Structure 1
Amino acid sequence: MNIHEFLIPPAESARRKGPHDRIVMSSRVRLARNIRDAAFPGWAKKPERVRILDQIRPAVETLPEMRGAFSESMDNLSTLDKQILVERHLISREHAAKSAGSGLVLNRDESLCFMINEEDHLRMQALRPGLQLKQAWMAIDQADSVLEKRLEYAFSQDVGYLTACPTNLGTGIRVSAMLHLPGLVLAEQINPIIQSVNKLGLAVRGLYGEGTEALGNVFQVSNQMTLGEAESAIVERLDKVLSQIIEHEENARGTLLEKKPKMVYNHIGRAYGILANAHSISSKETMNLLSLMRLGMDLGLFPGSDRSLTDELFILTQPAHLQRQYSEKLSAEERDLLRADMVREHLKAVSRPISKPSGSEGGKLDKPEKQ
């Protein structure tokens, strides 16, 4: 099966809705599991990895939720295929580097994804649009409970599930959300927020996780401890922290519009001007400018336009997705030219931003609707 025929089209993916999705772009809960009495993938020889793959993959494929899933060995996917999956946040950069003895099983609506022989034998994750940590946890917990009856996990009565990295020891859970926080960045409040979150034992990372920068004002917030705390308690704690961050972001946006409206309009107007008229633009600059346009959509500065347009361009303008549209190998300079052409074409129907949000009074932001 061709992965590109299987994946949800970017335009459709960008239209998916969820609670608080103007700020929380997606929620994810990941579990790390290993097979008892087998070497971790990083230490295992190729025949051992292949044996583990052949053991885990059928067990995952027969889950009711995985009916009609995409299932493939990583060595049968091209480098471009893998990079597209990374850009969609469906697999990790580490898994993209894997080949024989590693595999992927992805369900139809891209809400459940199983990476086999990444850092651990099995890393399963549930994804949801918006703030839906509890729903994601329930989905992956259900799948895990079924798999635990079919696979013999490496488990210790003293410390819990055994994992390749000590930071995942215990529950093996990683709960995270991807947040769009341009208000806090523009208000220069993002660093205090990050410091406060870190003090609570949570990690704040960039767009693609650990070791990456926050392109497009997008940040990932996740738990760091997995030992000594129940999974439901970790989910609940992160959910509460995210609700506070959402409130801070909404307040930052409202305060900026009230006290520095011209600064906000200037940033958003310049972003639109460059994106709608540039003839060469890098991936990084595109992401940062699309972030400001997305903020403008949320603030009502682009009447008649929907946030899904910027979310679609977030996906389409990334290097591998851009490369996929053209059969020949593209240099970075050629990608920058084609990216600019694509963005200009998509923004043809978008009028320049108005200088006052629709439905606002004196530059004040409408109170956000409850979700």
Structure 2
Amino acid sequence: MMRFSTLIRHPADWMTGVQTEHSAVITSRIRLARNLRGHSFPGWARKAERVKTLEILRPAVEELPAMKDAFSRELGDLSSVQKQVLVERHLISREHAARTDGSGAVIERRQSFSFMLNEEDHLRMQSIRPGLKLTEAYEALSELDTELEGKLEYAFDPNLGYLTTCPTNLGTGLRASSMLHLPALVLSDQIGQVLQAVNKIGLAVRGLYGEGTESLGNLYQISNQSTLGESEETIISRLERVIAQVATHEQNAREKLMEEDPEMVADKIGRAYGVLRHAFIIDSKEALNHLSLLRLGGNLGFFPAETVNLCDTLLMDIQQAHLQLHAGTKLSPEHRDSIRAEIVRSRLQSLNSPDNFNQKNDQTDRFPEDGNTENA
């Protein structure tokens, strides 16, 4: 089985800014909730029952061919920092990290699949892909789900579908979501009306770490809310269509800002670059907001395209638990802010000021006809 240090040393493609068709869509995630027939659901189960269920679930998941040489641990064997690192990488939930006895995690080597055992439900499996690839993520996870259903007896009702702890997951047990980077909609004050329109058609909008979290770095999660009465394909198709529309609104907002107020855009990106390149103390919120603008600069041609990759890696590496793991010791908030600034300065050392790059690129270069700004 894979060691924790090996897992963390090799980030997945979806964490590192792989170029995709829609530059605003960072990742797509599919999560399926399942429970075992004849076993108390985790919230009602005593410790002994949870341990027994884990002994059934863990080997079944580890034996899947796709999970060969996976990272597999009981949560009680992980430190609080290690669990928080997995939360920051979106591999387990905050709620799951709070659990210990009778709970576990199995994570595929490339971190494209992860399984939470005895979270809110007995089994919560997820598939993550870069860009707008919800259908691809679902098809890959559905194969694993079918393999598991051949080994395990799921709690299933012919009328209600898969039975889950929370009624909002009843039916398909499906939660599909995409993480979007929407700085131009924020800068142009259009974000409110766009997100309101998304909410009106029954989709949920959440922050960086899901339900109950705020948007940081202009990052938003859009997901389905209903799981009952529709097929998985119908839910995913509608969500993909809406997310593509939001990404198009973001692209249009970027073009309009560059046409109508290019100096304001250049100023915002230049100031973010200046702070990140020269700050010696920076807190998480400020760093994320500035990295968001630097990422936008990479999309618009102020910086080389690989700057997007650099920003996405930094977005992960400057999180609180990642910093503590990097330092190898518990850090005070002040010390964290100093190390965060040091890491950012070091990674951006070879990134030149946006001035020269901006002068070399005219408006046409920044916005190719196909609308894809990744390689601009």
Q: Scaled by the length of structure 2, what TM-score is found?
A: 0.95
Q: CA deviation at 1:304?
A: 7.0
The structure-2 alpha-carbon separation of the partners of 1:76 and 1:143, relative to structure 1 and needing over 3 Å to count, comes to same
Residue of structure 2 equivalent to 1:56:
57
Q: Distance in 2 between matches of 1:36 and 1:12?
A: 36
Residue of structure 1 equivalent to 2:349:
348
The structure-2 alpha-carbon separation of the partners of 1:296 and 1:100, relative to structure 1 and needing over 3 Å to count, comes to same
Residue of structure 2 equivalent to 1:270:
271
Residue of structure 2 equivalent to 1:148:
149
Contact 2:280–2:338, Cα closer than 8 Å, also in 1:
yes
Q: Distance in 2 between matches of 1:357 and 1:202?
A: 41
CA RMSD of aligned residues (A): 1.8
Counting matched residue pairs gives 371
Q: Distance in 1 between matches of 2:11 and 2:174?
A: 29
Contact 2:75–2:100, Cα closer than 8 Å, also in 1:
yes
Q: CA deviation at 1:366?
A: 3.7
Residue of structure 1 equivalent to 2:185:
184
Q: Distance in 2 between matches of 1:307 and 1:18?
A: 9
Residue of structure 1 equivalent to 2:363:
361
Residue of structure 2 equivalent to 1:166:
167
Contact 2:298–2:305, Cα closer than 8 Å, also in 1:
no
Contact 1:21–1:129, Cα closer than 8 Å, also in 2:
no
Residue of structure 1 equivalent to 2:227:
226
The structure-2 alpha-carbon separation of the partners of 1:305 and 1:25, relative to structure 1 and needing over 3 Å to count, comes to closer
Contact 2:324–2:330, Cα closer than 8 Å, also in 1:
yes
Q: CA deviation at 1:262?
A: 1.1
Whichever residue aligns with residue 187 of structure 1, its letter is: S
Residue of structure 2 equivalent to 1:69:
70
Whichever residue aligns with residue 162 of structure 1, its letter is: L
What does 1:83-162 correspond to in 2, within 5 Å? 83-162=84-163
Deviations 1:43-82 (A, max 9, x none): 1100000011010111111111111111111101110111
Q: Distance in 1 between matches of 2:59 and 2:186?
A: 46
Q: Distance in 2 between matches of 1:127 and 1:191?
A: 27
Q: CA deviation at 1:370?
A: 9.2
Residue of structure 2 equivalent to 1:313:
314
Q: Distance in 2 between matches of 1:285 and 1:64?
A: 42
Contact 1:299–1:357, Cα closer than 8 Å, also in 2:
no
Residue of structure 2 equivalent to 1:19:
20
Contact 2:300–2:373, Cα closer than 8 Å, also in 1:
no
The structure-2 alpha-carbon separation of the partners of 1:49 and 1:358, relative to structure 1 and needing over 3 Å to count, comes to farther
The answer to whether structure 1 residue 30 and structure 2 residue 44 are counterparts is: no
Q: Distance in 2 between matches of 1:307 and 1:69?
A: 29
Q: Distance in 2 between matches of 1:217 and 1:270?
A: 17
Q: Scaled by the length of structure 1, what TM-score is found?
A: 0.96
Whichever residue aligns with residue 361 of structure 1, its letter is: Q
Deviations 1:141-160 (A, max 9, x none): 11111111111111111111
Q: CA deviation at 1:328?
A: 2.5
| Structure 1 gap ranges (5+) | none
Give the secondary-structure state (helix, strand or coil) at the position aligned to 1:227. Answer: coil
Q: Distance in 2 between matches of 1:295 and 1:215?
A: 15
Q: CA deviation at 1:358?
A: 4.9
Contact 1:359–1:366, Cα closer than 8 Å, also in 2:
no
Contact 1:21–1:131, Cα closer than 8 Å, also in 2:
yes
The structure-2 alpha-carbon separation of the partners of 1:360 and 1:56, relative to structure 1 and needing over 3 Å to count, comes to same
Deviations 1:195-243 (A, max 9, x none): 1001111000000000001100000000000000000111111010011
Give the secondary-structure state (helix, strand or coil) at the position aligned to 1:150. Answer: coil
Whichever residue aligns with residue 128 of structure 2, its letter is: L
Contact 1:258–1:362, Cα closer than 8 Å, also in 2:
no
Contact 1:104–1:116, Cα closer than 8 Å, also in 2:
yes
Give the secondary-structure state (helix, strand or coil) at the position aligned to 1:354. Answer: helix
Contact 1:34–1:162, Cα closer than 8 Å, also in 2:
yes
Whichever residue aligns with residue 340 of structure 1, its letter is: A
Q: CA deviation at 1:347?
A: 1.2
Deviations 1:293-348 (A, max 9, x none): 00001101014753111111111111111111112321001100111111111111
